[in-house]
Amino acid sequence: MSATTFSPSRPTTCTPSHAARELGLKRGEFDLAVHLGHIRTVPDEGGGGGRRVERAEIDRLRAQEGYPDTLHERVRVVGTTEGAALMEIPAGRFTRLARLGLLVPVKWYLNRYRAVVWLYLAEDLRDFTSATENAHLLKGRTPETLRSQLEAGVDVRARNWRGRHLGFLLRQAEEPWVRAGAVAALLPPLEIADVVRDPYDRAYLNRFRPAPPVQGTPGSPAAHLAERIVTAQDTDEIEWLRGELAHMLEEARALTPAPRPAARRAAPAVRAVARPVPPVARTVARPTEPAVPVPSEPGAEPAGAGAHEPLLGPPEPTRGPVTVASRPSGGPRPGPPEAEDESVVRAFEWHAPVVPAATPSSARRGNRRAERAPARSDRGLRGWLRRRSPRPSRV
C-alpha cells in the first residue's frame, strides 16, 4: 500500500505588504519601487481594487545579481544635506538647482515645524553629477539667466513632483477611466466640474481618483499646505491638465460609458370614474301658522298692523280712550271680573296687548301706514318685552 501526502498549492500572488517583507524592503521603499517600475504588480482579481505581486516576480528579483543591495540602492532617497554631500556641492547650490527644476524630487513630507522636506533619488543625483553638460552648474558662477529666475522667486519643486507623481499613476493605469482619474487627481474640484459637466460621468470618474497623500489632521494648516502641494497651481499647468482630462474622458466614454440609472417607466394614467352623487337630504320648512286677527271695534286699526311694524324706537304714547283686547283663545270676556279672581285679572291685564281707541282720522292714517310700511316681525326679545310691558297711556 503506497502512502501519498497532500501538499497545499502555493498561491501565485501575494499582497504588497507580504511581498515587501520577503524582499526586505520597507513599505515606503516598496511603493517607490513599484512607482519607478522596478517591481511589477497585477490587478487584484478578488475585486478589491488593489494590486498584488506575483510569486514569479519575487523570484525574479531575488535571482538578480547583487540582491538585495542593488534593489535597496535603486530606491534610496536623500534630503538636501545628504544630497549635496553626495554631489560634492554646497547645500545652497543644491537648493538653487532644485528650485530651478534641474533636480526633481521624488517624495516629500512635512516635519514638526510644518516645513516641507523634499527627498531625491540618490541614483538621479549620481546621474546628474556624472553628466558632462552639467559640470558648469556644479562649480563656478551660476549663469545670468538662472540667477534672474532665482531673484524672481522661481520654485518649481512642487510642480516637478506633481509631474513625476502623475507619471507614476499613469504607469499603473490600464483602463481609460483609471487614466482619467489619475489626471483628475491633480486638478481642483471646480476645474473638474467645469470639464466634466455630466454628473454621472463625474461621479464615475471620482471612483478612480487616487487618494492624495495625507499630511496632518483634516482642516489643519499642515493639511492645507499639503493640499497646495498636490494640487495644480499655475495657470499653464491647469490648462494642460484640463486638456488631457477632456481627451482621456472622450476615450473612456467611447469605450465604457458611465453607468446611469435605469429610466423609470411612467405609471399608467388612472382613468377617472364617475362616482354617483349621494342624495341630499330634503329640507322641510316648518309651516307658518296664520296670524289670528284680534277682534276690535269697527273702524279701529287691526292689532296685527301695529305688531308687524319695524321697531324703530320706543312706542308713542296713545291718545284717547284705551281698551283691553280679549284673549284669542277663549279667555275671560272683557268686563269687571269677579272679586275672588282679582290676581288673575291683574295678570290678564298685564299680558294683554293694549289697543288704543282709533278715531276716524287716526284710523285712516293707520290704514295708510299699514299699506306702505312693511310687516313688522313679532319675533325677537325686544318685541316680546314691549308687548309684555307696554307703556301706560295717558287719559
The predicted pLDDT at position 283 comes to 59
State the total domains in the chain: 3
Query: What is the C-alpha separation between 67 and 315, in angstroms, rounded?
Result: 132
84 and 67 both lie in a single domain = no
pLDDT tens-digit series, residues 1-28: 455 554 555 568 899 999 999 999 999 9
Tell me, what amino acid is at 7?
Answer: S
Considering the entire predicted model, what is its pTM?
0.63
161 and 101 both lie in a single domain = no
Model confidence band, residue 204 (pLDDT cutoffs 50, 70, 90):
very high
User: What are the residues whose beta carbons fall under 8 Å from the beta carbon of 68, sequence distance 6 or more?
Assistant: 23, 24
Residue 168 lies in a domain: yes
The predicted pLDDT at position 91 comes to 94
183 and 236 both lie in a single domain = yes
252 and 161 both lie in a single domain = yes
Cα separations (Å) of 250 from 187, 189, 195, 202? 18, 19, 11, 13
> How many CB atoms are located within 10 Å of the residue 347 CB?
11
The predicted pLDDT at position 177 comes to 94
The predicted pLDDT at position 140 comes to 84
- Residue 93 pLDDT > 90: yes
110 and 135 both lie in a single domain = yes
Structural domain for 70, as ranges: 13-74
- Residue 49 pLDDT > 90: no
- Taking only Cα atoms into account, the Rg of the chain, rounded to an integer number of angstroms, comes to 56
Identify the CA nearest to 213 among candidates 229, 194, 192: 229
Final residue belonging to a domain, choices 239, 258, 277: 258
The predicted pLDDT at position 269 comes to 64
Identify the H or E element spanning 84. helix 80-87
Higher per-residue confidence, 377 vs 104: 104
- Residue 353 pLDDT > 80: no
Give the mean model confidence (pLDDT) for residues 235-253. Answer: 95
Report the range of poorest mean pLDDT among 209-218, 296-305, 368-377.
296-305
Residue 67 has, within 13 A of its CA and on its CB side, a CA count of 13
Query: What is the C-alpha separation between 105 and 78, in angstroms, rounded?
Result: 10
Residue 237 lies in a domain: yes
Query: What is the C-alpha separation between 395 and 382, in angstroms, rounded?
Result: 26
Residue 359 lies in a domain: no
Identify the H or E element spanning 125. helix 122-130
21 and 105 both lie in a single domain = no
Final residue belonging to a domain, choices 258, 275, 296: 258
Residue 114 lies in a domain: yes
Report the range of poorest mean pLDDT among 71-80, 166-175, 354-363.
354-363
Model confidence band, residue 382 (pLDDT cutoffs 50, 70, 90):
confident
Higher per-residue confidence, 267 vs 354: 267
253 and 185 both lie in a single domain = yes
